Chain A
């Protein structure tokens, strides 16, 4: 992984959330400066801020996109005790000419009496629905019955969680076997060691959300929670950011074994637990196929977790600040990283900074002593492979001549690799 681009956000205060749209062509940022900004990616790959407006009268904690089936819709939540829904207007004004888009507030959701800490759109198969949670311990679920009229949202459910709520996550599964489900985390830090993660499930008969499970083992404040994309599994995977990163599986116990009509019961197992962040973990989020979990912690790093083909979870990547002060123009980067000079060399960027991981020194590097250089000097033609499928591939390599670096010297150990030069 490597930094392809950096963009000056130009927010006047701390940014609290960044959010890609469904296709990754737009992003939204929100900040303590009470504004939301929308950024659009041009054909050339540059990002431009196309809208910036004051959204709330307090810090904006989260910003999130609705599925594009519902148009261009954003939701934000704030310290000002409200959540809001925004829609982009395709105007006939000259906004378009100036490369600006226009967003209008469709609704303000004012039911909370305290800071609204998270806002999430439900999976699209449920329709246009929105959940919020707030410091007063209530999860609220709203619905826009008419997707063409986003000014009308009705409060469908109020779920009392008894604990100050910090985060929510919808179960993305669209399988008919799974009822709509939402997990709620609490960052209540009072000394009583109550379980901080509750899972609510929608009951078709009562038309209400009922508590299905409480994760009894999670008793420290929870800052973020995320269901993984389902991939057709019968069970669910839930990641939790608390004093460490935890990954749970929730296997539904067969219905006939439970009392009929009640919420699904789950067999809950912890499959991974990592304290590499050394302290509080603040965010967890899955990639779109649910194969990699990213977490962000007090150590200032984003860590990537991945299970291998034997289902062993490991940290496979770390994004880390290099600590140097910010400088430079607003849009740095290179659209052609492999060829450009601002990007790190292949090995550095991909193999990381640890010297022991150094693998393929460049041909004409000062490290001519490496055994690697020796066979890349002068390559006689390969035995002609009989063309089977791609005869055009059989390039004539007979005249391939490589520059001849000095021969290897056996006694010289490898030089350590300078840490990620050029990043």
Chain B
């Protein structure tokens, strides 16, 4: 991932010598192409290169992890739920909700960590085992940081309960190791003291607790001064520890797995009612004492320290530098933003930062062939650039199957992304035409409301009909409905097919009027008139009179229109002569049939009027 700050990440391309050559590249929707080239040589190169390679570069590796996929899937549900938390909810109920959401996120991390751990144990080769283990430790770190942020920023525990939470935090993440240490650790096992100081939240006031605690402490001190435990150095050390003696604690450094364990232990015995505002002071001194100048803080230490300093921005910044994907920072920042902390902390880019991180995370999901569907919801909740980002990403989703295409279309339609809908339908229509699937092409162009393309496809249908004498995709054409109005040619196609249906149903009168109206209303392209007139032939030849005298006149006019408009052809070749021959015969037959029909119609109409 590209971090917010810090040094650029370096990705090495094997087999490319950057000292001698350059690289050409291209962006894809989810991947990048890189290839060795030489830009300075503009002419033919003197020496042929040794079989250059093309490299496919992936941006976000985590998207492809099966186990992390669960993290993405399940946290998506929590994220969407969080966005729907009633804005009106205030005070305690809102806070309780947000704490619950935070815990849900953490339990998802834990579940994922557990599964990853199982894989690490079951891993057959050491390399993949190592990889799983490293992911376990990353997830574990995420949970540790998240938990601390939850206590400090979301729970906002006051003095007293604050230490309680910190104790839970340490207990959750630092483990008693073996029986030997458990003996000694017993002295600092918080559970022994819990009953003693667990009360303030309920029955005692903080001052009462302070008083009692001071009393107990003085007693301890007296015992120490009196040399009560002088006979046993261990008991004496224990007593010192209970008084919060830092030197005594640090003597047991090996049992304190890390500085924050030391910090909480120290606070427990010396400042159980530590105020949030004083935390950073104790944290910093604990870190300094614990490391003792022997080693320097690691990124995790810096993150935790930033949290103890209540510097949210620093926490997020350090996390995005250190963590391997945008998942953590995006979700944590979003949650903190819902706690209205980013504004409160006077970051003028506060909500920008939330959106920035969510956009990064969602874009990463779009690199994956199925996770992109989660990304859609994240974009939805980015008010500024979410929509335009979604537009750019979603139109790039490969439409390999109809099902996938329909899914993408539904998402676009739900969001009134008309241009994307049009474009996707157009792409599919073009693909169908190229593969000669006319029915599919037509329905996609109707969906795209692409009149020009509908005309083009309709022409193909008509051309096919002229060649084969039958229509394909009857279902579609018969059920065009109002979509028929998209283009004149499509209307004609629909109406022409209707003519065939009427004819098939032996509703000759209706069929005849329709046929004629197709020509007189100019819906039928002139190139198709001869076909239509030829279609009229069998109707003219029926026993009963179908075309009235007036209709017959109209038909004759159409035929004359068509034949008189024909330009004289110079230099006719043999084929054309033959075609003309057929044409002439056709026209002659039509004229004959029309004349006969006219005669019959006049007689019939005359006799009917006479009767």
Question: Interface on A for B, CB 8 Å cutoff?
Answer: 1-20, 22-25, 27, 29, 32, 39, 43, 47, 58-59, 68-72, 79, 90, 115, 124, 148, 174, 223, 229, 231-232, 280, 282-283, 285-289, 291-292, 294, 296-304, 306, 308-310, 314-327, 333, 336-341, 343, 345-347, 349-354, 356-357, 359-365, 370-380, 382-383, 385-390, 392-395, 397, 400, 402-404, 407-408, 410-414, 419-420, 422-423
Contacts and interface: CB of A to CB of B under 8 A. Distances in A.
A370 B107 CA distance: 25
B341 interface: no
Contacts of B419: 174
Contact of A324 (B14, B101, B352): B14
Given A289-B392, A337-B64, A302 B34 contact: yes
B411 interface: no
Contact of A59 (B44, B138, B301, B400): B44
A372 B141 contact: yes
B343 interface: no
A12 B144 CA distance: 55
A338 B38 CA distance: 33
A308 B4 CA distance: 6
A15 B35 contact: yes
Nearest to B325: A350
Given A346-B134, A354-B10, A372-B298, A386 B140 contact: no
A375 B33 contact: no
A326 B25 contact: no
A318 B61 contact: no
Contact of A318 (B10, B100, B257, B426): B10
B397 A3 contact: no
A249 B172 CA distance: 51
Contacts of B323: 359
B32 interface: yes
B131 A321 contact: no
A4 B111 CA distance: 28
B33 A288 contact: no
19 contacts: A79-B43, A299-B18, A322-B13, A326-B51, A341-B127, A345-B134, A346-B135, A350-B325, A351-B322, A354-B7, A354-B10, A359-B300, A363-B130, A377-B175, A378-B176, A390-B74, A395-B107, A419-B12, A423-B14
Given A303-B8, A321-B15, A360-B138, A287 B23 contact: no
Given A283-B24, A321-B23, 12 more contacts: A1-B58, A4-B58, A18-B26, A24-B31, A289-B393, A320-B13, A337-B58, A343-B61, A359-B323, A363-B130, A372-B141, A423-B14
Nearest to B15: A326
A362 B133 contact: yes
Contact of A319 (B13, B20, B110, B111): B13
A373 B258 CA distance: 10
B255 to A, nearest CB: 9
A136 to B, nearest CB: 15
Max chain A CB contacts within 10 Å: which of B5, B36, B54?
B54
B203 to A, nearest CB: 22
B330 to A, nearest CB: 12
Interface residues of B, number: 153
Contacts of A302: 23, 25, 34
Interface string B494-532: 000000000000000000000000000000000000000
Contacts of A333: 56
A5 to B, nearest CB: 4
B15 A380 contact: no
Contacts, number: 471
Contact of B294 (A4, A296, A379, A410): A410
Contacts of B77: 389-390
Interface stretch (B240-248, B427-435, B468-476, B568-576): B427-435
A365 B55 contact: no
Contact of B11 (A3, A6, A22, A124): A3
Contacts of B133: 362-364, 403
Given A300-B23, A338-B131, A320 B12 contact: yes
B100 A386 contact: yes
B135 to A, nearest CB: 6
A345 B292 CA distance: 32
Contact of B57 (A2, A8, A340, A411): A2
A397 B110 contact: yes
B106 interface: yes
B48 interface: yes
A159 to B, nearest CB: 23
Interface in B164-179: 168, 171-177
B54 A338 contact: no
Interface string B335-379: 000000000000001001101100100010000000000000000
Given A14-B38, A347-B134, A393-B74, A404 B53 contact: no
Contacts of B171: 380
A396 to B, nearest CB: 9
Nearest to B101: A388
A1 B53 contact: no
B324 interface: yes
Contact of A323 (B18, B42, B55, B397): B18
A351 B17 contact: no
B449 interface: no
B211 interface: no
B423 interface: yes
Given A24-B31, A69-B427, A408 B257 contact: yes
